[in-house]
Structure formats: C-alpha cells, structure tokens
Homo-oligomer: A and B are copies of this chain.
Amino acid sequence: MPDALYERLAIIGAGLIGSSVARAAGKAGVAGHIVLADADASILADAERLGLADSYHSDPAAAADKADLVILAVPVGAMASVAGDIAGALKPGVTVSDVGSVKESVLDSLTQTLPPHVHILPGHPVAGTEQSGPAAGFASLFEDRWCILTPPPQSDTQALDRLTRFWRALGSRVEIMDARHHDLVLAITSHVPHLIAYNIVGTASDLEAVTRSEVIKYSAGGFRDFTRIAASDPTMWRDVFLNNRDAVLEMLGRFSEDLTALQRAIRWGDGDALFTLFNRTRDIRRGIVDAGQDAAVADFGRPHKD
C-alpha cells in the first residue's frame, strides 16, 4: 500500500469510535495492517463479522505487539489499565495515542505507565453520536470534524507530524493544544452540555404533577433534543466527569450563575433582559453553521414529509 503512514495499526476498543477509526483508516489506506482488540468477546466477534480490520485479538498486548501506531479507544477510566496491559509489548519508536474525551488525566496515566521508548501523543476526535458499539460506527464520522492532539512538551516532531497526517487522511482538521486547555474547552462545548441534558431528563422523569407519558408525548417542544445526548453511554460519561472534575465544576459554576440571573429576570418580568440574551445567542448558531460544524437546514434535517 503506497500511502500507508503506519505499517501496523492497532486499535484497542472496537466501539463506536474505535470501529470508525478502523473503517476510516481502512478506506484511506493509511495503514498496512489493521488490528482490532476488545475485551468483550461478543463485540470482537461483531467487529469481525463486519470485516472492520485485518486481524482481531482479545488480548490488547497481542494486538499492540509490533504495532507502529496504537490507538486506545476505550472509556477514559480504562485507559490506565489498558496502558498497563500493553506496556511490555510495545516496540521502540511506536506512537501510542488515544481518542478519550478528557486529555490531562490520560496524558498523566500514559506517561506514568508506558516505557520511555514510546511516543505518547494523546488525541481527541471531536465527533460522535449517542450510539455505542462497532455496528454504530462509520467511515465518514471524522470528516470535517476537528481532531485535537495534546502532545506533552518536547514531543518528537516527526511522530507528531505523522499522526497529524493520519487524522487528516481520515478527513479531520487537526489542532494542537495543551491538554489542560483542551479539558477546559471541552468542558463547555461537550461535558457540561451532556451533564445538563442528563440532568433535565432526570428532572422530567421524577415529577409528580407531570406524567412520564406526557413528557414523551409533548417532547417535540424542545425536550427531545436533550434526550438524544442523554442516551449516550453511561460508562463513558461517568469516566469523563470523574476525570475532568475541576474544569467541569468551573464551567458549571458559570452556567448556574447565569441561570440564576435569568431566573431573576423571569421572576421580575424583565422582558428586555430576556430579549437581549435570546437575540445574542443566534450569532453563535450562525457561526457554527458557517464553519461547517452543523447542518444549515431547519431542525437538524430531521426527516419530514415535505
């Protein structure tokens, strides 16, 4: 394969993201041989049935053996243990990266666990859906989405350059960022949005005066949008909040402060304050659509009959 950036690519975790990386890398021809590993035998069997890789392993060390690039695609809380599993099998000069939604804690545990002859280059493709598992993945998931790489200081520039070209070949735009700053940015663009979505769905489920059936029937008023996010994988999201505590609490503090001000405006009938905020927030939507980060069509392009 002439364009192969890595002779041997090992992906540990064959879920939504891992399987999408396998598909996209296969399609782009950027790896000579793709190995998929998963701790769960039935998930691995699904991946094999789907023909996502060239070989399959239940043992992550066997998968990482002789690999030129290893990508960890397991929940953030499992990264340290998988790193421990593969540490002894890694060949000198290999790049170990990941796709975890939190970066500082992952960088720390990889640095503590992996041998010095390994290039540790953590990453996070900002792309996904609310679904899980190998069947939910698809090759175009990363197209036109940003992949953030958070290399530690003094990283090998050649290794970083190669990983950058890898993600570009998968369709991503690549940004280099400090791990701590990544965690702050994603706290507001991803983690807190998920938390408040989970929270409002929980609140709605627990009301006495409004039934569950009413919540479901009238969800098209806006609530249903939040339920999509709140259907995301519980393990993945538990790990995100446990591993990005400080940034999430800081952003949550801001959110609550602003919400209290809005609550006050409603209590006192301050229509101007409400109008001013509601008018200001349209700009950001326009920016997102203009930047190609969401569909321009109404209602996300939800299916309609005309």
A176 at the binding interface (Cβ < 8 Å): no
Which one of A129, A206, A212, A217 has the greatest number of beta carbons of chain B within 10 Å?
A217
Give complex CA distance A62, B235 in Å: 61
Which residues of chain B are within 8 angstroms of A224 by Cβ–Cβ distance? 288, 293-294
A270-288 vs B: 1/0 string, CB under 8 Å? 0100110111111111111
A121-163 vs B: 1/0 string, CB under 8 Å? 0000011111100001011110101101000000000000000
A295 at the binding interface (Cβ < 8 Å): yes
Given contacts A143-B305, A249-B267, is CB(A207)–CB(B234) below 8 Å? no
Is the Cβ of A255 less than 8 Å from the Cβ of B199? Answer: yes
Is the Cβ of B300 less than 8 Å from the Cβ of A126? Answer: no
Is the Cβ of B188 less than 8 Å from the Cβ of A215? Answer: yes
A108 at the binding interface (Cβ < 8 Å): no
Is the Cβ of A193 less than 8 Å from the Cβ of B138? Answer: no
Given contacts A190-B222, A238-B271, A255-B203, is CB(A281)–CB(B227) below 8 Å? yes
Is the Cβ of A197 less than 8 Å from the Cβ of B209? Answer: no
Is the Cβ of A231 less than 8 Å from the Cβ of B129? Answer: no
Shortest Cβ distance from residue A92 to the other chain B in the assembled complex, whole angstroms: 34
Which residues of chain B are within 8 angstroms of A226 by Cβ–Cβ distance? 193, 225
Shortest Cβ distance from residue A129 to the other chain B in the assembled complex, whole angstroms: 4
Is the Cβ of B267 less than 8 Å from the Cβ of A245? Answer: yes
A41 at the binding interface (Cβ < 8 Å): no
Q: Which residue of B lies closest to A186 (CB)?
A: B221
B-facing residues in A198-227 (Cβ within 8 Å) = 198-207, 209-210, 212, 214-227
Q: Which residue of B lies closest to A250 (CB)?
A: B209
A175 at the binding interface (Cβ < 8 Å): yes
Is the Cβ of B256 less than 8 Å from the Cβ of A126? Answer: no
Which residues of chain B are within 8 angstroms of A220 by Cβ–Cβ distance? 126-128, 145-146, 293-294
Interface segment, one of A1-9, A110-118, A258-266: A258-266
Shortest Cβ distance from residue A197 to the other chain B in the assembled complex, whole angstroms: 7
Is the Cβ of A222 less than 8 Å from the Cβ of B193? Answer: yes
22 residue pairs of the A-B complex, CB under 8 angstroms, read: A126-B217, A130-B298, A130-B299, A185-B215, A189-B215, A190-B218, A191-B222, A193-B226, A195-B259, A198-B278, A199-B277, A202-B258, A202-B277, A225-B300, A227-B288, A230-B285, A234-B278, A235-B275, A237-B274, A242-B266, A245-B267, A249-B267
Q: A196-B200, A199-B277 are in contact. List 5 more A-B contacts (CB 8 A).
A: A185-B218, A188-B223, A238-B271, A245-B267, A301-B303
Report the 10 A-B pairs with minimum CB-CB distance, sorted nearest first. A190-B221, A234-B278, A231-B285, A193-B222, A140-B305, A129-B298, A201-B281, A227-B285, A230-B281, A300-B300
